[in-house]
Amino acid sequence: MEVQCPITWTWRTLRRDPRRVEFFQGTLETTSEIETVRVFDTTLRDGEQSPRTSFSYEDKREIATVLDEMGTHVIEAGFPVNSEAEFEAVRDIASASETTTCGLARVVDKDVEAALDSGVDLVHVFVSTSDVQLQDSMHASREEATERAVESVRRVKEAGVECMFSPMDATRTEKAFLFEIIEAVSGEGVDWINIPDTCGVCTPTRMASLIGEIVDRTDARIDVHTHDDFGLASANALAGFEAGAAQAQVSVNGIGERAGNAAYEEVVMAVESLYGIDTGIDTTRITELSRIVEAASDIPVPQNKPVVGRNAFSHESGIHAAGVIENSDTFEPGVMTPEMVGASREFVLGKHTGTHSVRKRLSDAGYDPTDTQVREVTRRVKDYGAEKQRVTMETLERFAEEVGVDRVDEDEEEEVRA
Ligand code: MN
């Protein structure tokens, strides 16, 4: 079921419009590489397959609720045949969600039946297609794989349910066979072909050329599933969109098998901010969503993680902080602000701090320093930061008192306000 989420335009119309691609369009050859984008979230399926991660029933329901409220186009709720508990979680998420829910199934009867019984809107069947996986994981021939894929897709379509087919390890599959199996399931009326870069070996150029070839061989819509073994998962997902894929699979904080999947926050914000596409997703809840998944998965988000890391909108160095205090577009992307993702900007005090940050932090804390005092406090902050790395507000206030900085006179403050 398609859901139009009105929240995005609501917050945009209520706030000052954030800058869009026009901000830097003079540097672009085109701003229309992509027309529409759908986001398929697999945090609860591939994300949960992260080594040492297991979500509780409550965690799954909470993550699904937030994804649904944000307007995510598809939520892959799990692998129903996996266990009774998994089946119940998928079933309950499917019945509680407004958006499309998806359940995973191998090309075997019991998996397909469990997925259909769970009540999901979309059944995602997959089979290995690369020789290495067919021989040493699935122990099946190409003919068997094709036959079972066709039967599984046929069964899902006969049940009147939307179907996605994944030739697993597509990017290491001989092309002639990849096209053959795609054409075979397309003959059964499959709705989606997902191209998984299961082992993360694709590059953006190769992904674009592969998707370009597949688009011509099927009437199904194309989806891409990318892994981050070489740090290319989000880039490969965007290359998929540029080449005609309608949807990409992502996970919050990029969690998933090994180095993980394309990150929800990276793909959504790149599409919104760099391509100027309105996904319909309420991006202002991205930081909240990231923190929920961080806690539930017990996988800490690196400080320098794009979009959701603690440093994503933090500034320490003197030149950058001074520029950002004057106009945040100077040393931030401009087309992506902390407000857009529900985060806040921070001016960190430390070794690289300059006088502008110190003056701002002092005046925010109610001080009225002279220029000489700002310079003296800044010197102390830099010395202390070089040794201890972190300079807290308490330390800053201690320096201010040591240097003899006056507090803003309350009467004076009244006058200023009047
Ligand atoms: Mn995967």
> Which CATH number covers residue 246?
3.20.20.70
The 3-state DSSP class for residue 279 equals: coil
**Whether residue 200 sits in one domain with residue 98:** yes
Q: Mean per-residue pLDDT for 100-107?
A: 98
**Whether residue 187 sits in one domain with residue 323:** no
**Whether residue 84 sits in one domain with residue 153:** yes
* pLDDT confidence band for 5 (50 / 70 / 90): very low
28 in any annotated domain: no
> 262, 297, 332: which is the final residue of a domain?
297
Predicted local distance difference test score (pLDDT) of residue 61 = 98
The least confident of 49-53, 151-155, 376-380 is 49-53
Question: 366 CA distance to ligand 1 centroid (A)?
Answer: 52
**Whether residue 363 sits in one domain with residue 292:** no
Q: Mean per-residue pLDDT for 206-228?
A: 97
78 in any annotated domain: yes
**Whether residue 359 sits in one domain with residue 285:** no
Question: 251 CA distance to ligand 1 centroid (A)?
Answer: 10
Q: Mean per-residue pLDDT for 406-416?
A: 67
Q: Mean per-residue pLDDT for 366-388?
A: 95
* pLDDT confidence band for 366 (50 / 70 / 90): very high
Q: Please state the domain count of the chain.
A: 2
Question: 281 CA distance to ligand 1 centroid (A)?
Answer: 23
Predicted local distance difference test score (pLDDT) of residue 17 = 62
* Dist. CA 418–CA 415, nearest whole Å: 5
Average per-residue pLDDT for the chain: 92
pLDDT digits (tens, 9 = 90+) for 172-202: 999 999 999 999 999 999 999 999 999 999 9
Predicted local distance difference test score (pLDDT) of residue 2 = 42
- From residue 199, how far is each of 48, 175, 225, 354 by CA, in Å? 17, 17, 10, 45
For residue 117, give the nearest of 149, 95, 147, 145 by alpha carbon. 95
Question: 144 CA distance to ligand 1 centroid (A)?
Answer: 22
13 in any annotated domain: no
**Whether residue 264 sits in one domain with residue 222:** yes
Question: 196 CA distance to ligand 1 centroid (A)?
Answer: 7
**Whether residue 153 sits in one domain with residue 293:** yes
**Whether residue 237 sits in one domain with residue 196:** yes
- Count of C-beta atoms within a 10 Å radius of residue 205: 12
291's tokens = 């923190």
**Whether residue 336 sits in one domain with residue 241:** no
The least confident of 30-44, 122-136, 190-204, 234-248 is 30-44
Predicted local distance difference test score (pLDDT) of residue 354 = 94
Percent of residues, the chain, with pLDDT higher than 90? 87
* pLDDT confidence band for 28 (50 / 70 / 90): confident
Amino acid at 359: R
Instruction: Domain of residue 171: give its range.
Output: 33-297
The string of DSSP letters for 79-124 reads -GGG-HHHHHHHHHHHHH-SSEEEEEEESSHHHHHHHHHTT-SEEE
Predicted local distance difference test score (pLDDT) of residue 209 = 97
> 297, 330, 356: which is the final residue of a domain?
297
Question: 260 CA distance to ligand 1 centroid (A)?
Answer: 8
358 and 381 Cβ atoms separated by less than 8 Å: yes
247: enclosing H helix or E strand: strand 247-250
